[in-house]
């Protein structure tokens, strides 16, 4: 028997605290760091982002997004038989135990559903979606909860204006289920560890204390150049696997990192800008959460509808990148 996987529900959640560029500028100025709304927006397209409160974890954000996705799928939590959660900011040090296991408990899933974390930074959701698709097509799982959840504000150095202005917190989720018709048409994933040092948190724990830095580091120019060169290539690889061309894509939903990277990709794909879903202006870069956040927003406002063909793509530290073609 041939199995297919299909997204049947989406959900997202942003912490209530919204921080505008001007508010962040004022905060940084108090620490002697100069920036401005214009400087941030002109370089990234970001106007605001959301920050979680100090006692809120990635799993807390994931719970809310997951509940909304499960409700949209018209399922109950115990219908879920696998959780794949992408995050770079796990609840516990070293991701031990996994945030996916913590999420399982908070959702009240008591059926023994498997649960695991995936670490591919901003490409994490692409990796998680591909894993879920493979598990469903293999016939081992029926309803898979795929989540991207981040509290990146915890690893930002607010004395480095080149990085701290770019990132925010949030979570997005989808429920993928066994289907009689194709939903995920193709996925393609890549990684190149030789670029590990251009986007990383270059610290580790030794004898219970942090050795090195616990803050995010990014070589912005190197990341920008690499992302621009890779995204259209992996998108075209996924299109070829799906037997489609870019003219058949209804919506492009890229990782929401930088509007200039996103616009460059759309241009190379010969897709009009009005076919690209943009949330980076209001959310900032939410890493593994950005693609499912944008997808859920577009589903709920009526842009992405059943039958639409959507191209998802992302890049992240590692260096990792990937794309998927899905039919809603």
Active site members: 122, 255, 285
Residue 112, CB half-sphere, CA atoms under 13 Å: how many? 0
What whole-number distance in Å separates Cα of residue 179 and Cα of residue 132? 13
Grouping H, G, I as helix, E, B as strand and the rest as coil, residue 38 is helix
For residues 118 and 131, the answer to whether their CB atoms sit within 8 Å is: yes
Our CA angle for 270, 323, 321, nearest 5°, is 110
| Nearest residue to 65 via CA among 172, 176, 170, 196 | 172
Calculated CA dihedral for residues 125, 46, 29, 31, nearest 10 degrees: 10
Calculated CA dihedral for residues 65, 66, 69, 75, nearest 10 degrees: -150
What is the rounded radius of gyration, in angstroms, for the C-alpha atoms of the chain?
Answer: 19
Tokens of 327: 């039919």
Residue 266, CB half-sphere, CA atoms under 13 Å: how many? 22
For residues 67 and 75, the answer to whether their CB atoms sit within 8 Å is: no
What whole-number distance in Å separates Cα of residue 137 and Cα of residue 286? 29
Q: Are strands 217-218 and 309-316 parallel, antiparallel or unpaired?
A: unpaired
User: How many angstroms from the chain centroid is the CA of residue 234?
Assistant: 17
Tokens of 196: 């590990």
């Amino acid at each position: 028997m041939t199995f297919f996987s299909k997204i049947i529900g989406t959900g997202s959640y942003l912490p209530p605290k919204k921080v505008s560029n001007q508010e962040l500028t004022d905060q940084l100025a108090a620490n002697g760091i100069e920036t401005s709304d214009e400087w941030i927006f002109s370089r990234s397209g970001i106007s605001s982002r959301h920050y979680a409160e100090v006692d809120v974890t990635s799993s807390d954000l994931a719970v809310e997004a997951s509940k909304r996705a499960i409700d949209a799928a018209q399922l109950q939590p115990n219908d879920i038989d696998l959780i794949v959660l992408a995050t770079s900011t796990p609840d516990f040090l070293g991701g031990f135990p996994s945030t996916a296991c913590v999420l399982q408990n908070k959702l009240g899933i008591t059926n023994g559903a498997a649960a695991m974390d995936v670490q591919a930074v901003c490409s994490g959701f692409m990796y998680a979606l591909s894993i879920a698709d493979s598990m469903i097509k293999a016939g081992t799982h029926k309803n898979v909860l795929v989540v991207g959840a981040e509290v990146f504000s915890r690893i930002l150095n607010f004395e480095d204006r080149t990085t701290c202005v770019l990132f925010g917190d949030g979570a997005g989720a989808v429920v993928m289920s066994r289907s009689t018709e194709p939903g995920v048409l193709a996925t393609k994933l890549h990684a190149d560890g030789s670029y590990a040092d251009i986007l990383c948190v270059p610290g580790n724990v030794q004898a219970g204390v942090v050795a090195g830095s616990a803050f995010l580091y990014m070589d912005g120019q190197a990341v920008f150049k690499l992302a621009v060169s890779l995204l259209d290539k992996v998108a075209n690889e996924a299109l070829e696997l799906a037997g489609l061309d870019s003219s058949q894509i209804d919506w492009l939903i890229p990782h929401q990192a930088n509007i200039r990277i996103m616009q460059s990709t759309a241009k190379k794909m010969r897709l009009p800008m009005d076919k690209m879903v943009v949330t980076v202006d209001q959310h900032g870069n939410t890493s593994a959460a950005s693609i499912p956040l944008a997808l859920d927003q577009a589903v709920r406002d009526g842009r992405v509808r059943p039958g639409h063909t959507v191209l998802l793509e992302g890049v992240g530290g590692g260096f990792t990148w990937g794309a998927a073609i899905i039919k809603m």
